[in-house]
Each structure stands twice: as structure tokens, then as C-alpha cells.
Amino acid sequence: MQLIYFASLRENLGLSQENYELPDTVATVAQLITHMRTRGDHFTAAFENSLMLRVAVNQMHAQPDHPIKNSDEIAFFPPVTGG
């Protein structure tokens, strides 16, 4: 699975993307977000406010119950404001 991090997530984690093997217990976007918090202090902090995160699966906006698999590209990004 290709994980991509944007904006403050990229800054907080110190990476823009990574290849990651999806655990067998993770089958949805919501489960992946919960799992990401277990990967260490930086991930816990970055994924702490999951209600504010937006997720795209294979470049399409995805809801928390969207199914995922190891061949997917998952992008995480915080909401963006503009003016």
C-alpha cells in the first residue's frame, strides 16, 4: 500500500509518502486511521484528531467505512482553508 501525507501531516511525520503493508485486521479507512495512531508518538499526534482528516483512496475522496486493500494508494490530508 502506498501512503501519502500532505500539509501538516507531512511536516509532523517527517515524510511525504511510504510503502506500508496493511495489517490483516485493517479493512476500512476508519480502521487504518485507528491503526496509524499505534505506530509511535509522531503518528499518535498526527492522527489524534481523526474527525478533521480527509482521506482519498486511489485519488477519490473516501468515507470512514470505505474498504481498503494493499494495492491501494491512500492519501491523508488535513482540511484546507483559503481566502
CATH number of 2-77: 3.10.20.30
Residue 81 has pLDDT above 60, yes or no: no
pTM of the model: 0.91
Going from N- to C-terminal start, the domains of the chain cover: 2-77
- According to the model, what pLDDT value does residue 51 have? 81
d(CA 9, CA 47): 8
pLDDT in tens, 10-65: 998 999 999 999 999 999 999 999 999 999 999 999 998 888 899 999 999 999 99
Residue 82 above 90 pLDDT?
no
Closest CA to 51 of 68, 30, 67, 32: 30
Asked if pLDDT for residue 83 goes beyond 80, the answer is no
